[in-house]
Every structure is written in structure tokens, then in C-alpha cells.
């Protein structure tokens, strides 16, 4: 992985690496090796250092103010709408640093192996995709981790210097003295807390939708807007909305869905009643997990629509305290027949984002 800073610096784009193979392929295919020098018991191990003002003043070309290295299981990723395809054999070395003045750390991960597999006394190399190096590791006689060969562009895409230009590259890259770190052993929880600073978890969000909503169970979420709300939102046409899976949707998934890849292929129905003559429109969508949301495309398989509606999409996300967020910030949620002329182009209304509450299944009955 060129960088796993999905929540850190914006990536310039996907990078194709032809020279990836031997190191990464072997790392994914086998169990990661054990390093007694890093962890005598085989448990996850943490090393870190926080530099004081005096040190940073004496090393003006060192950008890194905080640095931690974690050996073991992924301390950053968490259950999401998209089941992880990574096994415990994938990445076993994780680096996070916070530069001077930054509010949050950046991080990257790699596969750690002996530099010489036939020499147990050799150092450890942690590699990344595109045949890049995350760091080289050694442990001194006091149990401190000597971290070297840290590249200035460890958090950037391969070829970033050419893409960004020299000035911007120097701004985003690590400093010329950001190498040869000496880190102290620390409790694993210390590293976990440091990595948690990258993307703090909101405990109110709870489990992802794919865990809360089961493949073989119906659900119903909705909201009815009162007069006060509608008066304060004059451009909102939605009077009530329901998002649900009922007998029809459950039968469709049972017949052709794959529970192991849930929610991919899950059908949902969205019913919207507008305050214009109380007209109700129901549309079926087919969903798939995508990062922290379900991406659902309008489906014709359970409707009579004959036009191309594959590009009409909505997104489902978990909300706080058991709620569900439904949104289409670009074109608004469908409040008309998607094949009608009125559905062409953008919907000129405020019907774009909804926070829905769980409801009894009877509230979503046709």
C-alpha cells in the first residue's frame, strides 16, 4: 500500500505498481513471522517516543514530534459496511507520526520480514506496496526499537515528487532529520490510543449497518415530518419517508443473494409521500457495501420501469443511537417516478438528506 492514510493526506490518485509481487504476495499468502526481539511472548508490541521542546529546538530539520511503531494486528481499521478482505497475515507493522503543529497523526502499514531469512540475527525490513520500504527495525540491548530507513515520502504516493513539484513535495514530505529514531517499549494500549487519534470513533454510531441489519430479517426506518418542520423547510417536498426490506426484498435475496458478502445484492425499498396531494412513490434499490455506507442504485427488476435508471443512486449510513442516514446530496432522493420527464436532471428541492428512526414493520407495510 502506497499509503493507508485514507483519513490523512488526500491521495493524488490510484497508483498502479507493476513491481509489487514477491514481497507483498508472499506476505498475504502465509502467516506473518514471529519476532521474539520485538515481542518475546508473541503478543502485539508497541514502541514510541514523544519529543520535547528542547529536542525539537536542537533539531530544526526534524518535523516529527510524536512517533509510534506497532507490531501486530491492525490498530486502525474497524468493522465497516464492507467486510475486510485483509487477513491477519496481511500487514503486521504500523507506523504513525505527528509532525510539529499537526492536530492528527498520519499512518502507513507494511509487511515485516527478516532482511536475510537464513540469518536469525539479521535486521527486520518492513516493506510496502510498489516495492517501497516502510522502515528497517532492530532492537538494542535495552529493548529499544531502532527505526531507520524511513523514507520522506512514506505517507505519499509513489512518484509524488514528480506529481506535486519540488516545493509542495518538500512541504508534505518528512524532514531530512526524520530518520534513525530510537523508540522506547510501551504498553500496547498506548499505541492503540495513539492510532485512535487518527479517526476517532463515535461510540454513538454503534455497529455498522451490515451487522445491525441481518440478511434474513426485515427492517423499517422512517420519519413523518410535522407542520412546524415543513414550515421551516419550504423547499422540502417530503412529508413522510420509509426505507425498508419486506417479504418481497427478503425473498429476492434468499433466491439469489450471497449472505457471506452481505449487504452486496441487498434490495431495499424507499417510499416517499409528498405534501403535494399526498402522492406516494415507491422505488426499489439494489445495494452494496462501500466503505462506511451502502451505495444503492435504483433497480428495475421489481418494477415496471423501462428506462435506464442505473445511475440513480442513494446512500445509507449509520446514524447516532440506532438511526439511519439516507442521502443523495447530488440529485435528491427520488420523489417522482424515475422514468418520468420530471426525474431528468437534478431535483430542485431540499429532499437530499434524511435522519430516520427505526419503526415497527407495520409502519412500512404497502
Kindly report the number of other CB atoms within 10 A of residue 29's CB atom. Answer: 9
Whether 13 is covered by a domain: the verdict is: no
Whether 347 is covered by a domain: the verdict is: yes
Whether 11 is covered by a domain: the verdict is: no
**Same structural domain for residues 267 and 327?**
yes
Beta strand segments in the chain, E: 45-50, 64-71, 93-99, 106-114, 124-128, 132-139, 145-148, 181-186, 219-224, 238-245, 266-274, 280-290, 293-298, 313-318, 324-327, 353-358
From 201, 218, 250, the end of a domain falls on 201
The whole-angstrom separation of Cα 166 and Cα 59 is 22
Residues of the chain with pLDDT under 50: 1-29, 87-88, 304, 306-308, 310, 338, 341-348
Phi (first) and psi of residue 211, to 5 degrees: -90, -40
Phi (first) and psi of residue 72, to 5 degrees: 145, -135
**Same structural domain for residues 149 and 216?**
no
Please, are residues 71 and 92 in contact by the beta-carbon 8 Å criterion?
yes
**Same structural domain for residues 87 and 173?**
yes
The whole-angstrom separation of Cα 90 and Cα 30 is 9
From 201, 219, 241, the end of a domain falls on 201
pLDDT at 337: 52
Give the Cα-Cα-Cα angle 333, 337, 342 (nearest 5 degrees): 85
**Same structural domain for residues 25 and 74?**
yes
**Same structural domain for residues 66 and 103?**
yes
The whole-angstrom separation of Cα 285 and Cα 262 is 15
**Same structural domain for residues 145 and 174?**
yes
**Same structural domain for residues 93 and 115?**
yes
From 151, 170, 201, the end of a domain falls on 201
Please list, in sequence order, all residues whose beta carbon lies within 8 angstroms of the beta carbon of residue 348, skipping any fewer than 6 positions away. Answer: 235
**Same structural domain for residues 259 and 349?**
yes
Whether 358 is covered by a domain: the verdict is: yes
Please list, in sequence order, all residues whose beta carbon lies within 8 angstroms of the beta carbon of residue 101, skipping any fewer than 6 positions away. Answer: none
Please list, in sequence order, all residues whose beta carbon lies within 8 angstroms of the beta carbon of residue 69, skipping any fewer than 6 positions away. Answer: 46, 47, 48, 93, 94, 95, 135, 137, 145, 147, 183, 191
Total residue length of the chain: 366
The whole-angstrom separation of Cα 75 and Cα 192 is 6
pLDDT at 15: 33
**Same structural domain for residues 196 and 288?**
no
**Same structural domain for residues 293 and 338?**
yes
Whether 290 is covered by a domain: the verdict is: yes
Please list, in sequence order, all residues whose beta carbon lies within 8 angstroms of the beta carbon of residue 26, skipping any fewer than 6 positions away. Answer: none
Please, are residues 124 and 95 in contact by the beta-carbon 8 Å criterion?
no
Domain that holds residue 283: 209-364
The whole-angstrom separation of Cα 74 and Cα 313 is 32
Whether 8 is covered by a domain: the verdict is: no
pLDDT at 316: 93
Whether 16 is covered by a domain: the verdict is: no
**How many folded domains does the chain comprise?**
2
Please list, in sequence order, all residues whose beta carbon lies within 8 angstroms of the beta carbon of residue 21, skipping any fewer than 6 positions away. Answer: none
The whole-angstrom separation of Cα 252 and Cα 248 is 6
Check residue 102 and report its DSSP letter: -
**Same structural domain for residues 29 and 71?**
yes
pTM > 0.85: no
**Same structural domain for residues 274 and 324?**
yes
The whole-angstrom separation of Cα 283 and Cα 300 is 9
End-to-end CA distance of the chain: 48
pLDDT at 244: 96
95-146 pLDDT, tens digit each? 999 999 999 999 999 999 988 777 767 789 999 887 889 999 999 999 999 9
Whether 162 is covered by a domain: the verdict is: yes
Amino acid at each position: 500500500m502506497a499509503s493507508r492514510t485514507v483519513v490523512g493526506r488526500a491521495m493524488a490518485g490510484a497508483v498502479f505498481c507493476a513491481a509489487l509481487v514477491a514481497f507483498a504476495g508472499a506476505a498475504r499468502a502465509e502467516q506473518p513471522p514471529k519476532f521474539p526481539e520485538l515481542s518475546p511472548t508473541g503478543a502485539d508490541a508497541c514502541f514510541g517516543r514523544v519529543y520535547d521542546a528542547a529536542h525539537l529546538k536542537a533539531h530544526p530539520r526534524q518535523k516529527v514530534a510524536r512517533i509510534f511503531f506497532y507490531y501486530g494486528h491492525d490498530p486502525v481499521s474497524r468493522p465497516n459496511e464492507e467486510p475486510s478482505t485483509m487477513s491477519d497475515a496481511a500487514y503486521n507493522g504500523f507506523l504513525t507520526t505527528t509532525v510539529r503543529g499537526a492536530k492528527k497523526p498520519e499512518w502507513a502499514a507494511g509487511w515485516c520480514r527478516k532482511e536475510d531469512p537464513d540469518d536469525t540475527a539479521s535486521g527486520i525490513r518492513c516493506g510496502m506496496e510498489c516495492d517501497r520500504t516502510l522502515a528497517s527495525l532492530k532492537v538494542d540491548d535495552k529493548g529499544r526499537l531502532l527505526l531507520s530507513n524511513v523514507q520522506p515520502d512514506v505517507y505519499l504516493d509513489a512518484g509524488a515528487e514528480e506529481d506535486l513539484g519540488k516545493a509542495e513535495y518538500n512541504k508534505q514530505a518528512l524532514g531530512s532529520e526524520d530518520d534513525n529514531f530510537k523508540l522506547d517499549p510501551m504498553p500496547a494500549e498506548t499505541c492503540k490510543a495513539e492510532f485512535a487519534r487518527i479517526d476517532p470513533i463515535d461510540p454513538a454510531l454503534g455497529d455498522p449497518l451490515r451487522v445491525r441489519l441481518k440478511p434474513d430479517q426485515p427492517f423499517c426506518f422512517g420519519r413523518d415530518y410535522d407542520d412546524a418542520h415543513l414550515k421551516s423547510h419550504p423547499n422540502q417536498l417530503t412529508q413522510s419517508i420509509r426505507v425498508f426490506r419486506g417479504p418481497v426484498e427478503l425473498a429476492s435475496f434468499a433466491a439469489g443473494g450471497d449472505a457471506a458478502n452481505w449487504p452486496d445484492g441487498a434490495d431495499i425499498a424507499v417510499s416517499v409521500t409528498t405534501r403535494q396531494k399526498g402522492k406516494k412513490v415507491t422505488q426499489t434499490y439494489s445495494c452494496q457495501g462501500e466503505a462506511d455506507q451502502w451505495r444503492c442504485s435504483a433497480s428495475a427488476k421489481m418494477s415496471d420501469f423501462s428506462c435506464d435508471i442505473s445511475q440513480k443512486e442513494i446512500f445509507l449510513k449509520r446514524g447516532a443511537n440506532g438511526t439511519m442516514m439516507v442521502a443523495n446530496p447530488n440529485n435528491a432522493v427520488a420523489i417522482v417516478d424515475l422514468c418520468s420527464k420530471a426525474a431528468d436532471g437534478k431535483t430542485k428541492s431540499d429532499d437530499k438528506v434524511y435522519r430516520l428512526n427505526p419503526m415497527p414493520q407495520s409502519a412500512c407495510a404497502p
